[in-house]
Structure 1
Amino acid sequence: MVLRLTLVLALTIGLVGANRIPTTKPLENGVGSPALVLEPRNGKTTLKHPTIANNSISLFCGSKKNIEDSTYSEIDRVLWSKYPTPNTTNVLEAKEVTEFEATAPASNNTVSLNINKPPATAVGKYRCDLWKGDEYKATGNLMVYMRPVFIQEENMRLDVIEGSPFELNGGGYTTVEGGNLSLTCRALGNPEPIYKWEMNGKPIKNDKKFSIRNHVMNISGVSEVDRSEYKCIATNTFTKDGREQTFTSTVTFNVRIKSKLAWLWPLLVIIVTAILLAVIIIACEYRRKKHERNTRDLEPEEDD
């Protein structure tokens, strides 16, 4: 059954002339693929070199005067674009997509978008606009769903735990007692992930001590009791395989606290070492001089 255009991915065929996203109402109805899902290999990616999904995606888009019609209306141009976030509704914020290959209108008057090895960054909300000559025929929004995948920021450690591709180790963080600490765990996903934080397996409440804003948690005035294991949990929910499912990805951080006087210990070691060396040198020098005196005393006196 042909569904209204609610897709998971969209790409661009160049529109003849100025590639502007129209703000006027189209003449007909946009129809196309049902929602699709990207299957990431594991729970981490970078924006510069995004991880590649395990599956390829093929989309189609067409125009019908009536949804119940068995044939598509004739078209000769298409523009694919993408919104900055899945929740964006302002048409003017959508940007044309050109990095993927798309087909020209087929004999049945549909256009296809075939994406091999899609990157994780391809997830999101897309838009299809169709024309026949100067007639604006149809439009529709397209969705590409994906479970949360954490973004490995610059100077950030993220290691996939063996056997658990969506459980990550964020490494250790050390801070001085009384200072502040910030932990972050930004993730890609559609729908946009919801975040929660845990300390030693217990939920953390947003208060003066722990300031939580989605994927960022700031800890103020850390003390020894804050030495712990912290976990960021990102979740989202969408329909897959005909049923609604919730997907979870986690990253764990280990926080260590240094005493304010921790800097004194290396200094004390240096001072003690210097004192011991001085004592040894003085003792050696004393023994050398004593040995010289004893040697002189034992030497026989020369006869006149």
Structure 2
Amino acid sequence: MVLRSFASFFYKLIPQFRLYGHGGDEAMLILLLTAFIADAAALGGRGSKTALNLVAGRTSDAHALHGVDPVTIWCSPDNPQVAIKTAQFVRVADGKKFKATLSTNKKNATLTIAKPTIVDAGEYTCELETQHGPIRHQIYVYARPVALINIEHFTVKDDNEFHLEGPGLSVEKGHNINITCPVTGYPPPIVKWTKDGAPLELGANVELSKTTIQITNAEYKDGGKYSCEAINEYSANAKTSRLLLVIEKMLNVKSEMAWLLPLAVILVMLILLGLIIFFCELRKRKQSKSARYVAAE
């Protein structure tokens, strides 16, 4: 829009040049400049928006989750008269470059990822070089929310790959604990927490830092089932999707004297063991004494 305004401005200068006696060369120069700017202003691109087909809800850095189908992204000049000289795709997250394949008529650039993983989701810059100049256009590969299992282990609940259950958590009363929601996806998922089926209530000792619940000076009322609901929404292939991942974690708040119970159990076992040994020795001595008495007779 700005470039077109400049072009219009220069075009209006032509009569002024003629009025003040400037020759046709100056007018022609302005015409050429106007045409160049208008042509540059008309350069634009268009491209794909696609999504990974994921049938599992867990991934890790060591073993990235694979999509079921290949993914093809494409872009082209929005002016069908513009031909492409060279093209590449640049993954914005890490700057990795991918050489594009040009169509036979040089009007379209494509990249096919035969075995895509969750790492391939994200934003790409399509960089086209044409006879009229460069074109840059943003391309998107979407992915529904999935859980990161680099540290924690999650199990599938109710035969639903996107409803997961985390390991049980415990904390002593008066101590601190963090409850995490390790998820990824593109666009980045929005995370909401519930506790025992109701929206999480924050308070003096319960705070939320990004996607992590921070509990300080834990109380018995802080125990219960915490559910992390990760949602993202996107439009791809003429379809709008709003996808959900749920991770549940149980928190048990133990008494600060809870260590006494296992200690008491150990002490009782030691006492019983001592009594057993004592009575065994006592019985052994009686048997030995009886044997000596019989031998003496």
Query: CA shift at 1:288, angstroms?
Result: 6.0
The answer to whether structure 1 residue 149 and structure 2 residue 146 are counterparts is yes
Cα distance in structure 2, aligned partners of 1:144 and 1:37? 5
Q: 1:75 to 1:285 in 2, by over 3 A?
A: closer
Partner of 2:210: 214
Higher normalized helix content (fraction of residues): 2
The answer to whether structure 1 residue 47 and structure 2 residue 44 are counterparts is no
Match of 1:263 among 259, 264, 274: 259
TM-score of the pair, normalised by structure 2 = 0.74
Cα distance in structure 2, aligned partners of 1:128 and 1:195? 30
Cα distance in structure 1, aligned partners of 2:196 and 2:267? 40
Query: CA shift at 1:236, angstroms?
Result: 1.4
Partner of 1:36: 50
CA contact (8 A) 1:72 1:110 kept: no
Query: CA shift at 1:259, angstroms?
Result: 2.4
Partner of 1:233: 229
Query: CA shift at 1:230, angstroms?
Result: 1.0
Partner of 1:196: 192
1:129-158 residue CA offsets vs partner (Å, 9 max, x unmatched)? 11247x74211111122221121122x112
SS at match of 1:40: coil
Partner of 1:18: none
Partner of 1:116: 114
Query: CA shift at 1:272, angstroms?
Result: 2.6
Cα distance in structure 2, aligned partners of 1:300 and 1:193? 91
Query: CA shift at 1:292, angstroms?
Result: 7.2
The answer to whether structure 1 residue 57 and structure 2 residue 71 are counterparts is yes
SS at match of 2:44: strand
User: Could you tell which deviates more after superposition, 170-179 or 139-148?
Assistant: 170-179
Match of 2:175 among 156, 174, 179: 179
Query: CA shift at 1:250, angstroms?
Result: 0.7
> In structure 2, what residue type is equivalent to 1:45?
T
CA contact (8 A) 1:38 1:145 kept: yes
Q: 1:103 to 1:270 in 2, by over 3 A?
A: same
Match of 1:275 among 271, 275, 285: 271
SS at match of 1:128: strand
Query: CA shift at 1:204, angstroms?
Result: 0.6
Q: 1:74 to 1:119 in 2, by over 3 A?
A: same
Query: CA shift at 1:225, angstroms?
Result: 2.6
1:156-180 residue CA offsets vs partner (Å, 9 max, x unmatched)? 1122335312111112122222222
CA contact (8 A) 2:125 2:137 kept: yes
Structure 2: unaligned runs, 5 residues or longer: 1-38
Q: 1:142 to 1:275 in 2, by over 3 A?
A: same
CA contact (8 A) 1:196 1:214 kept: no
CA contact (8 A) 2:87 2:101 kept: no
SS at match of 1:95: coil
Identity of aligned residues (%): 26
1:230-285 residue CA offsets vs partner (Å, 9 max, x unmatched)? 11000112225645442211111122233222222232223233333444444555
CA contact (8 A) 2:231 2:243 kept: yes
The answer to whether structure 1 residue 81 and structure 2 residue 90 are counterparts is yes
- The structure number with the bigger radius of gyration is 2
Q: 1:220 to 1:72 in 2, by over 3 A?
A: farther
Cα distance in structure 2, aligned partners of 1:110 and 1:281? 87
Q: 1:47 to 1:136 in 2, by over 3 A?
A: farther
SS at match of 1:171: coil
Partner of 1:11: none
TM-score of the pair, normalised by structure 1 = 0.73
SS at match of 1:109: coil
Q: 1:97 to 1:159 in 2, by over 3 A?
A: farther
Q: 1:189 to 1:296 in 2, by over 3 A?
A: closer
Cα distance in structure 1, aligned partners of 2:62 and 2:245? 21
Cα distance in structure 2, aligned partners of 1:264 and 1:195? 39
> In structure 2, what residue type is equivalent to 1:163?
D
